[in-house]
Amino acid sequence: MFTKSKHSKLKFVQFILLIGAVLIALSLVANRVVWAQEGGEEAQPETEPAPRTPSLHPGIPLLDEDGNHVLDSGKPVSTIKTCNNCHDAEFIASHSFHSDVGLSELTAPGLTGNGRAWDTSAGLFGKWNPITYRYLSPEVDKHTDLTTADWVKLLGVRHVGGGPAQYSRSGQELTLMPPAADNIEASSIDANGNLVAWDWAESGIIEMNCFLCHLPEPNNEARKEAIHAGNFGWANTATLLGTGIVNQEGDEFIWNAEAFDENGELFPEFVGIQDPTNENCGQCHGLVHVDPQTPMVLSGCTPEQWSTITTGQIMSPQKIAESGINIENKADIRRSWDIHTERVVKCTDCHYSLNNPVYYQELTESRPEHLQFDPRRIDLGEYLYRPLHEFAKGASAQGALAPSLDNTLRTCADCHEAETTHDWLPYADRHMVALACESCHIPEMYAPARQMYDWTVVQTSGEPQVACRGVEGGGETFATALVTGYEPVLLPRPNEDGAAPLSPHNLVTSWYWVYGDPERPVPARDLQAAWLDGDVYHDDVLEAFDANKNGVIEPEELIIDSERKEVLIAGKLEGLGLENPRIAGEIQPYNINHNVTHGEWATKDCQTCHSEDSRVTRPIILADAIPGGVMPTFVGNGTTELNGDVVKTKDGALYYEPRAGADNLYVIGHNKVSWIDWAGVLIFLGTIGGVFTHGGLRYWSARKNPPQEHEMKTVYMYTVYERLWHWLQTAVILLLTFTGLIIHKPDMFGAFSFSYVVQVHNVLAAILVANAALAFFYNIASGEIKQYLPEPRGFFNQMAQQAMFYLRGIFKGEEHPFEKTPEHKLNPLQQVTYLGLLNVLLPLQIITGALIWGAQRWPNIAAQVGGLPFLAPFHTLIAWLFASFIVMHVYLTTTGPTPMANIQAMMMGWEDVETHPVAGD
Amino acid sequence: MKDSKYVWLIGLLITILIIVVPIFSVVTAEPDNSGDPWASLPERAPHVDHTDLMPGPYETGQDVTRACLECHENAAHEMTQTVHWTWESKPVKLPGRDELVTIGKKNQINNFCIGIQGNWTGCTRCHAGYGWDSADFDFSMEENVDCLVCHEQSGLYVKANSGLPAEGVDLAVAAQSVSTPTRLNCGGCHFNGGGGNAVKHGDLDSSMFYPSEDIDVHMGRYDFQCVDCHKTENHQIGGHSISVSINGEHEISCMDCHENDLHTDDRINAHIDTIACQTCHIPEGAVRDATKMQWDWSQAGQDIPEDPHEYLKIKGRFVYERGFMPEYYWFNGEADRYILGDKIDPTAVTSLNTPQGDITDPNAKIWPFKVHRAIQIYDAGYNYLLQPKTVGEGGYWTEFDWQLAAELGAEASGMAYSGEYGWAQTEMYWALTHMVAPKENALQCSDCHSDDGRMDWEALGYYGDPLRWGNRSQTIGMTNN
């Protein structure tokens, strides 16, 4: 009876529930039909974006460090144990520079070769960076900055786990390390600056976090929070928060049994494992904005967006004009942030796993020349078992980690057939040798980037003075700033071909205190103690720096610009036990390879570089002032050279000025050898001066003593061919001189298109050479050549005689000393001049010109004779001599019987000449 | 013996030739394959000032027309041969149908105000004629052609019921202002299709009377008039819309002026056989003024607060949208058409004008559409869509009685009415082709080819994003195997 009623009660509840469910279902169906009642809320159900490709990954059980199911143990998930069932997770973790970050390459301080005396590796674990400032101490001493545990807590958020978050420097599991305050690997610094023991067994370690890169929406914030809290063991589990697999209640993580099927495997909808997307990479590497519809905004300047803060690189298909950033002239910037992202090329398409059989390509150096493609490769199953997590990389200026993988990345030319798209570009090959593609295709950065860190001072927040380039005002988040963008500086960067083309960079300059010998950066803790008492400045610091005495140190006052200030702070640091504290400065280059553009947005205008104000040598500001007057040194790793000058301006700012000439680079239209130009101008003006003097004297003397009447006769002096040759040569040489001048000084002739003028110059040169060759043949074949050949005997006397005529006789109206006849058109002076002109100057000009023209076709030949830096100025010098010759030549044509006689003869062929009695007859 | 005096001139010419010819043959400008689109634009002589030719006064619209015909003798006859007059196509063959049918506003329905039969006086305000107020309208009366609505430029000419000039219109002023039709003339009706600004097309609205360049690059940046593209001969105006003109005749194409492969990027040119220009160059519909996307007639008749963009008692409930993302379908220029009397499945959505073509149709390209979805009245006994009477005596807009409206409407359209009506879902396709955005705003790769892309590739017949899964010919090839 009792049971029955209970039963019927249950049935009744079930019935009610059933009715409810049906009603809900009906209302849902009805809702579909009468959507119009809901107004626009359900508008356009058809146009929802297509769903992402579903994950192919099968359901998996999540296992803990002991290999037990997390549902059973309640312990954190072990990525290695979980994934190791199908993939060789240990292989993956041990073959990944993202995981290793320098652990396996740790050296004694100062041996990394980048110039810093305290770096112990080339990776995040061991390489100090003024941007993050904190220093991984090699061992425990009284100024220990970061222990291993502190490093993980602070910098581990940009580390995928494994490596130094799991293993000691000797390769031991950190959990096996007994807590010890005197062991740098088993200790931590507490709030009071004291070393205390760190229990790895309690904190746990961080295995390489597969979820961070392979889930569509990993919870990186929760992961970072766990890491900062020292809750390392749960960091990877925290990454799953929000997926429904695990929930957080208070400080506890509770696995959700609903997410697993009866075999303990995750239901398909909880398995989102996929190839890494740009957003996955962007969690550590920089700002990634995928959705083209939502306007992008800058979200402050945190180091997580590493490439964005160091260079301004942003990966987004969005057009800049449509972003939400307050960019100067934004409406006109109709290009996307990154053409590759716009065209759906993903990070992993270029930075692919090096044994991915789809992408893998043997490097050119090791590939036999007869082989385009080697089809023998690992199959997909093998790849999925052991996907190498060493990724193709370039050779970035700061990323010195895993140098053996440098330039495994596809280059631009691996995908792009640049020749076909650059047929408009004169000297395309030459340009491509001298310039990296990025130099023209990343002409400008439209987001701000870091310019300077001044760690010699601290703000009351404990942060350094920071300056950004490409932005005006607006504070740290740039919310109200005007973003102006900046032009990257071009620095030579060796590529895998052994060349060092110019490529775009940002330069980040830093100043900071170092102490001791060998030197080390002053720990942030001590620096803050030297400046601050809690969150206010020490009185004597305030007194020294508060120039306007208003009780506050304003940003512009916060700089060490006098010896007094320097001594004060140094003294305070010394008081903290830091020996010999002194200011050091460094310049870090950051290369820029992303945010590529194309077409009209790439640099196409020749005069961008081929002009006085050339892009190639345009200086870039490093800092508005120089803390402590210390000139910063260059910190690189051999992949970028700083070959220009660091220059201090009058108002105390610091600039870097590239030097184009330093790299065997001669930018036509920009570079000049000034003494050659000056000498050329002097010779040219001297000639004009001489001609005017001589002409004036002739005019004056002709009035004083009228010319003697000579016996004249009219002879057929020049054949039609000779005249044609002459005037063609005249026109071509004049045009060559003029176009050459435009190419040499494009700024003075802004009306002309540099590129067209260059092409016209080349065509003219070809005509000149052809004309000269034909004339040479004509002179040889007709025997006219002997007119140019002086008779050896008495030649110098004859020259002297002719010279005396020009210096004296001509003023007295004397006869020309040598009769001009069709057989002897040239007087001895002309003979020697033309001999020089035609045998020396013209061939030299043709050869240097041809070599400059051929600098891209036969670069070796040009290089052997000194390359453009020698050839181009030489060509210029000869051009000046030619110009001077033309002046002299034209003037001397007026020294005939009448001023116009010679010119007329060259036009008409017939000339009135003086008759001379034939000598010896 | 001596050469001619002018030998130097010949020499000079030869010298110049030797220099100039090689320069011009070697030095080349950047290749430009954009052609010269301006060459295709009609050139018009300035229009004759008619101020003195049309002294007036005129009592009626027909008076004006008669005056026009004194000089332009054939004009009205030409007009009567056009669909702007007949509102009905020539007999055409529809897929799956043996008999020929005619299609037009005159005899078919849409899913906006549904149909004109029985509602003539209201609907024919936009007829290029005078006095069409019943089925008995005489289409041969040339004097009823309304010249002014297309040609007057005073801006003071207004049409009222049955297309007659509104009370108080000074016909002489209008007649004296005549000229080539401008956006104001065409837009007067076409921007107000569906009973108000921006209602119907999704790419034609009053923002185009004086558009900025980001609304319509042709009209905004280059000040085009409608008739620059809708070229007109003998009053036959080019262009067609698949709501009423389903066989692709009179099509105007971008390629009438633009070169087929004008993009400098080969990758973009490779799209041209598959993607209509409009697909990339009209990234959104209804750029400024919201257009009607949904219309639920079944909600009409309630005494609840009204808002012309949300609810009207006479019309029901609407959804308007501005800057909507188009829907994309294969389209070969032709469409199927619902013909009054066709049976429907009242539980399914009935398409009134399905665009034709699919991935295997070499003439089909992916086009952007506005799709207007409605719930409209149908005969629940005979299962066909009804054409209710809304305007005038006994019409729903005065009586709010669907039963009566259905009866009167069926009578006017010559259909049987079972006495029982219901509500059915319909949709209508409007190919977007106006409001071409400036090229800077055209779609980019990632707008379609990405996880967040706007194309439903599988619905279009692809295996997946063709960027990765292969293009149309590869897909068809695989299908055929």
Which chain A residue has its CA at the smallest distance from B441's CA? A334
* Terminal Cα-to-Cα distance of chain A (whole angstroms): 164
Contact criterion met (CB < 8 Å) for B11 and A44: no
Q: Is A39 on the interface with B (CB under 8 A)?
A: yes
Of B293, B447, B453, the CB nearest to A50: B453
Which chain A residue has its CA at the smallest distance from B369's CA? A47
When pLDDT is averaged across residues B405-410 and rounded to a whole number, the result is 95
Structural tokens at position A507: 């330069």
Report the distance separating Cα A530 and Cα B252, nearest Å.
78
Structural domain spans, chain A: 70-270, 441-659, 674-691+714-911
What Å distances lie between residue A899 and A205, A699, A766, A902, CA to CA? 99, 11, 33, 7
The answer, yes or no, to whether residue A23 has pLDDT greater than 70, is no
What Å distances lie between residue A816 and A801, B60, B465, CA to CA? 10, 103, 89
User: Are the C-beta atoms of residues B184 and B59 closer than 8 Å to each other?
Assistant: no
Residues 6+ apart with CB under 8 A from A919: none
Looking at beta carbons, which residues of chain B come within 8 Å of A50? Answer: 453, 455-458
The answer, yes or no, to whether residue A359 has pLDDT greater than 50, is yes
Which chain A residue has its CA at the smallest distance from B294's CA? A36
What's the mean pLDDT when you consider all of chain A? 84
Looking at beta carbons, which residues of chain B come within 8 Å of A723? Answer: 11
Please tell me whether residue A798 adopts helix, strand or coil conformation: helix
The answer, yes or no, to whether residue A53 has pLDDT greater than 70, is no
Q: What angle do CA A660, A661, A666 make, to 5 degrees?
A: 85
Of A44, A343, A909, the CB nearest to B3: A909
Q: Is B294 on the interface with A (CB under 8 A)?
A: yes
What Å distances lie between residue A393 and A97, A184, B464, CA to CA? 11, 32, 30
Please tell me whether residue B208 adopts helix, strand or coil conformation: helix
* Tokens 């105007």 found at: B252
The winner for highest mean pLDDT among A687-701, A794-808, B138-152 is: B138-152
When pLDDT is averaged across residues A37-61 and rounded to a whole number, the result is 54
Strand (E) positions, B246-389? 291-296, 311-312, 316-321, 327-331, 349-351, 365-379, 384-385
Report the distance separating Cα A90 and Cα A71, nearest Å.
23
Which chain A residue has its CA at the smallest distance from B321's CA? A40
* Tokens 């190919």 found at: B431
Which position has the higher pLDDT, A710 or A402? A402
Q: Is A290 on the interface with B (CB under 8 A)?
A: yes
Report the distance separating Cα A850 and Cα A844, nearest Å.
10
Which position has the higher pLDDT, B367 or A636? B367
Sequence-ordered alpha helix ranges (H) in B52-198: 61-71, 75-80, 83-86, 120-123, 148-151, 171-176, 183-190
Report the distance separating Cα A330 and Cα B413, nearest Å.
57
Looking at beta carbons, which residues of chain B come within 8 Å of A727? Answer: 11-12, 15
What Å distances lie between residue A78 and A84, A267, A284, CA to CA? 10, 19, 22
pLDDT, residue A750, reads: 76
Sequence-ordered alpha helix ranges (H) in A641-753: 674-704, 720-744
The answer, yes or no, to whether residue A597 has pLDDT greater than 50, is yes
The answer, yes or no, to whether residue A371 has pLDDT greater than 60, is yes
Please tell me whether residue B174 adopts helix, strand or coil conformation: helix
pLDDT, residue A256, reads: 94
pLDDT, residue A905, reads: 74
Q: Strand A520-521 to strand A536-537: parallel, antiparallel, or no bridges (unpaired)? A: unpaired
Architecture of domain A674-691+714-911: Up-down Bundle (1.20)
When pLDDT is averaged across residues B305-325 and rounded to a whole number, the result is 95
User: Are the C-beta atoms of residues A584 and A514 closer than 8 Å to each other?
Assistant: yes
The answer, yes or no, to whether residue A662 has pLDDT greater than 60, is no
pLDDT, residue A96, reads: 94
Low-confidence winner among A50-59, A251-260, A723-732, B326-335 (lowest mean pLDDT): A50-59
Contact criterion met (CB < 8 Å) for A763 and B27: yes
Among A47, A713, A771, pick the best mutation site for testing chain B contact (most B Cβ within 10 A).
A47
pLDDT, residue A45, reads: 38
Contact criterion met (CB < 8 Å) for A40 and B451: no
Listed residue (B3, B144, B157, B175) closest to B79, CA to CA: B144
Q: Residue A631 CA to chain centroid, in angstroms? A: 23
Q: Is B202 on the interface with A (CB under 8 A)?
A: no
Residues 6+ apart with CB under 8 A from A677: A876, A880
Structural tokens at position A282: 């962007």
What's the mean pLDDT when you consider all of chain B? 91
Q: Which helix (H) or strand (E) holds A858?
A: none
Task: Quickly state the pLDDT bin for A19 (edges 50, 70, 90).
Answer: low
DSSP string, B400-456: --HHHHHHHHHHHTT----S-EEEEEEEEEEE--SSPPPGGGS--HHHHSSTT-S--
Looking at beta carbons, which residues of chain B come within 8 Å of A344? Answer: 445-446, 449-450, 467
**B-contacting residues in A 253-282 (Cβ below 8 Å):** 277
Q: Is A344 on the interface with B (CB under 8 A)?
A: yes
Q: Is B296 on the interface with A (CB under 8 A)?
A: yes
Of chain A, the percentage scoring pLDDT greater than 90 comes to 47
Structural tokens at position A528: 């803050």
The answer, yes or no, to whether residue A106 has pLDDT greater than 70, is yes
Task: Quickly state the pLDDT bin for A715 (edges 50, 70, 90).
Answer: confident
Which chain B residue has its CA at the smallest distance from A43's CA? B319
Of B8, B316, B444, the CB nearest to A317: B444
Looking at beta carbons, which residues of chain A come within 8 Å of B449? Answer: 344
User: Are the C-beta atoms of residues B418 and B382 closer than 8 Å to each other?
Assistant: yes
β-bridge mates for residue A655, sequence order? A621, A647
When pLDDT is averaged across residues A648-672 and rounded to a whole number, the result is 82
pLDDT digits (tens, 9 = 90+) for A314-353: 999 999 998 888 899 998 898 999 999 998 899 999 999 9
Looking at beta carbons, which residues of chain B come within 8 Å of A336? Answer: 444
pLDDT, residue A661, reads: 59
Residues 6+ apart with CB under 8 A from A294: none
Task: Quickly state the pLDDT bin for B76 (edges 50, 70, 90).
Answer: very high
Report the distance separating Cα B308 and Cα B61, nearest Å.
32
Contact criterion met (CB < 8 Å) for B19 and A767: yes
DSSP string, B210-258: S--TTT-IIIIIS---HHHHS-EETTEE----TTT--S-TT---GGGTS
Our CA-based measurement puts residue B42 at a distance from the nearest CA of chain A, in whole angstroms, of 31
Q: Is B462 on the interface with A (CB under 8 A)?
A: no
pLDDT digits (tens, 9 = 90+) for A293-317: 788 888 665 556 888 999 999 999 9
User: Are the C-beta atoms of residues B455 and B328 closer than 8 Å to each other?
Assistant: yes
User: Are the C-beta atoms of residues A205 and A232 closer than 8 Å to each other?
Assistant: yes
Which position has the higher pLDDT, A272 or B206? B206
Sequence-ordered alpha helix ranges (H) in B3-42: 7-26
pLDDT digits (tens, 9 = 90+) for A146-187: 999 999 999 999 999 999 999 999 999 999 999 999 999 999
The winner for highest mean pLDDT among A35-39, A600-604, A851-855 is: A600-604
Task: Identify the DSSP state of A52.
Answer: P
DSSP string, A420-447: HH-TTSTTHHHHHHHB-HHHHHS--B-S
The answer, yes or no, to whether residue A6 has pLDDT greater than 80, is no
Dihedral, B173, B175, B178, B181 alpha carbons, nearest 10: 110
Report the distance separating Cα A769 and Cα A780, nearest Å.
16
Strand (E) positions, A177-269? 187-189, 195-197, 246-249, 252-255
Give the predicted TM-score (pTM) of the model. 0.80
Dihedral sign for Cα A711, A716, A722, A726, please: positive
pLDDT digits (tens, 9 = 90+) for A611-631: 888 888 899 999 999 999 999
Low-confidence winner among A571-575, A662-666, A838-842, A844-848 (lowest mean pLDDT): A662-666
pLDDT digits (tens, 9 = 90+) for B136-159: 999 999 999 999 999 999 999 999
Peptide linkage before A518 cis (omega within 30 of 0): yes
Residue A348, phi-psi category: left (phi > 0), alpha (psi -120 to 50), beta (remainder): alpha
**A-contacting residues in B 84-123 (Cβ below 8 Å):** none
β-bridge mates for residue A512, sequence order? A584
Q: What angle do CA B346, B349, B354 make, to 5 degrees?
A: 130
Report the distance separating Cα A587 and Cα A114, nearest Å.
12
Contact criterion met (CB < 8 Å) for A908 and B467: no
pLDDT, residue A185, reads: 94
Of chain A, the percentage scoring pLDDT greater than 70 comes to 88
Report the distance separating Cα A869 and Cα A867, nearest Å.
6
pLDDT, residue A15, reads: 53
Listed residue (A823, A826, A816) closest to A898, CA to CA: A816
Q: Is A507 on the interface with B (CB under 8 A)?
A: no
The answer, yes or no, to whether residue A50 has pLDDT greater than 80, is no
Task: Quickly state the pLDDT bin for B199 (edges 50, 70, 90).
Answer: very high
**A-contacting residues in B 399-418 (Cβ below 8 Å):** none
DSSP string, B288-299: SS-EEEEEEGGG
Q: Is A331 on the interface with B (CB under 8 A)?
A: no
pLDDT digits (tens, 9 = 90+) for B370-392: 999 999 999 999 999 999 999 98
pLDDT digits (tens, 9 = 90+) for A765-784: 999 999 989 988 888 888 77
Our CA-based measurement puts residue A756 at a distance from the nearest CA of chain B, in whole angstroms, of 7
Residues 6+ apart with CB under 8 A from A208: A79, A80, A89, A92, A93, A96, A99, A160, A161, A162, A163, A166
